[in-house]
Amino acid sequence: MTVIELTNYSFDSKKTGRPFQPFDFSLAHGDVFSISTDSVEDALTFLKALATLVAPLSGSYRFLENALSFSNHQYLLEAKKNIGFMTSHAALISNRTIRENLLLQRAYFTNSLSPKLDPNAQALCNLFALENKLDLRPAALTEHDYRCVIAVRELIKKPLVLLMEYPEQYIGITNLDAFNDILFDMVGGQVGIVFLSEYKNFIETFSKRDLVISNGTLQTVEG
């Protein structure tokens, strides 16, 4: 079963300043794509398009075989909720503490304001050495810790799809081995992953197929 299916899809290319040539793309459960590109901005725009943060110029977007309508942001929330998004575009809510940021989605969907992290979230916080920073505001964090909090938040979402931009920089090389183990579990759990990386070892470890984004075109290459 496909999680994401784009048909005849197109959006503006930052590199060429023109729309992308319409393309088809599908991501099934457990699929892993790495992106090769001559334009990081276009790759990020593609990740944002997969996250439904960019409205298409043409084509259709199906999430879990349901066609999405971009006419109202509320129609996209159900899909967005199931997409982990670890890119430079991701952020934390600045007037909330790290704990509140991590608990925000749970608080929203369970109508509970309990400040207790679940064991999985607690374990991830320990892994990324965040356990003593939970009551700080995002502005008090280093850039590395800030990105780690985003990573933890996206992982505890239990997404069906994980989109990543340079995970080696996001997580840091020192945490990458531990992060790889988490990713192996996720791929085994049928999570689809699309990532942009320059770290050869990471690409070779995870990539099953390659997406080539070049001059406003997108092609899939079997790995």
Partner 1 sequence: MQRVIGSVGRQALASFNQIATQVTLAYKILRLMTVPSKYGRALVRRITMEQVYFTAVQALPIIVPIAILIGGMIIIQFSRFSGQYDLGKITVLIIVRELGPILTAFLIILRSATAVTIEVGYMNVLHEVDTLEMSGIDPLWIVCVPRLVGITSAILCLFIVFDVVAIVGGYGLVWIITYIHLGEFLLQIANAISVADITVGLIKAVLFGITITVTCLYHGFKTQKHITQIPVAASRASVQCFIYCLIISTVISILFYL
Report if residue 64 touches partner 1, rule: CB under 8 A.
no
Out of 35, 47, 83, 194, the only residue in the binding site for partner 1 (CB under 8 A) is: 83
Residue 216 phi/psi, 5-degree rounding, is 75, 20
Least Å from the CB of residue 158 to partner 1: 12
Out of 74, 132, 142, 174, the only residue in the binding site for partner 1 (CB under 8 A) is: 74
Dist CA 106 CA 156 (whole Å)? 10
Residues 113-142 that bind partner 1 (CB under 8 A): 113
Report if residue 108 touches partner 1, rule: CB under 8 A.
yes
154 within 8 A of 86, measured Cβ to Cβ: yes
Report if residue 71 touches partner 1, rule: CB under 8 A.
no
Residues 140-199 that bind partner 1 (CB under 8 A): 153, 157
Out of 46, 85, 146, 166, the only residue in the binding site for partner 1 (CB under 8 A) is: 85
159 within 8 A of 82, measured Cβ to Cβ: yes
Q: Pick the closest to residue 29 from 165, 192, 180 (CA basis).
A: 192
List the alpha helices (DSSP H) in the chain. 40-50, 77-81, 98-110, 119-127, 143-156, 167-171, 173-188, 200-206
Report if residue 109 touches partner 1, rule: CB under 8 A.
yes
Out of 14, 29, 62, 89, the only residue in the binding site for partner 1 (CB under 8 A) is: 89
List the alpha helices (DSSP H) in 82-207. 98-110, 119-127, 143-156, 167-171, 173-188, 200-206
Within its chain, how far is the Cα of 63 from the centroid?
Answer: 15
Least Å from the CB of residue 167 to partner 1: 17
Residue 21 has, within 13 A of its CA and on its CB side, a CA count of 8
Report if residue 107 touches partner 1, rule: CB under 8 A.
yes
Least Å from the CB of residue 101 to partner 1: 9
Catalog residues that contact partner 1 under the rule CB under 8 A. Answer: 51, 53, 73-74, 76-78, 80-83, 85, 89-95, 104-105, 107-109, 111-113, 153, 157
